[in-house]
Amino acid sequence: MAPVQRLAAALIALVFLLAPAQAADRPVKIVAFGDSITAGYGLPADQAFPARLARALEAKGYAVSIANVGVSGDTTGGGLDRLDWSVPQGTEAVILELGANDMLRGLDPAATRATLDKILGKFDERHIPVLLAGMKAMRNLGSDYARNFDAIYPALASTHSVVFYPFFLDGVATDPRFNQGDGLHPNAAGVDVIVERILPQVEALIARARAARGS
């Protein structure tokens, strides 16, 4: 083989060797799809959950792009209605945090579960990996309501192939140190607690998104 041909062959081989690495290093496009807790109600944009999560992941060496598509007051029904335009083509992973407003309005847990099931079904159809962030009912709504609402997320996690985080406000809910004056929305310190606790599940989500690139 002539020197020029050998060089060309070597360059082609190098391209094939580098291509997987380049694909793996490309920022993972994540959409944080939720309500006011995701949106960052009462906080500067750079203190909202998606922004704080992105910084925590970058500090660990992950290349990510996280879009904040939280809408204050959104129910699961509102999320279903806006899903197609809120989660654009090219999205590689979704963090789904919806249901708290259904609970605050006292909506039927069976209806909330059915709507979340439809949302997850849409992501299944689009082959987008999902981290399902669970929610729990306030205890003053009664034991029957709390039991039925709390069961929604584990049930969905058992029927859909999601990364599951059982309670998005774990370590934050009802603790005045981590909540704003309304007692419902995390303050900046509360967001940091959420980020710290959910980080392993987000890393698992990123691994799924990267694996899907090669499928």
Active-site residues, by number, are 36, 182, 185
User: Distance between CA 145 and CA 86 in Å, rounded?
Assistant: 30
User: Distance between CA 57 and CA 52 in Å, rounded?
Assistant: 9
User: Distance between CA 169 and CA 70 in Å, rounded?
Assistant: 16
User: Distance between CA 43 and CA 62 in Å, rounded?
Assistant: 25
3-state SS record for the chain: CCHHHHHHHHHHHHHHHHHHHHHHHCCEEEEEEECHHHHCCCCCHHHCHHHHHHHHHHHCCCCEEEEECCCCCCCHHHHHHHHHHHCCCCCCEEEEECCHHHHHCCCCHHHHHHHHHHHHHHHHHCCCCEEEECCCCCHHHCHHHHHHHHCHHHHHHHHCCCEEECCCCCCCCCCHHHECCCCCCECHHHHHHHHHHHHHHHHHHHHHHHHHHCC
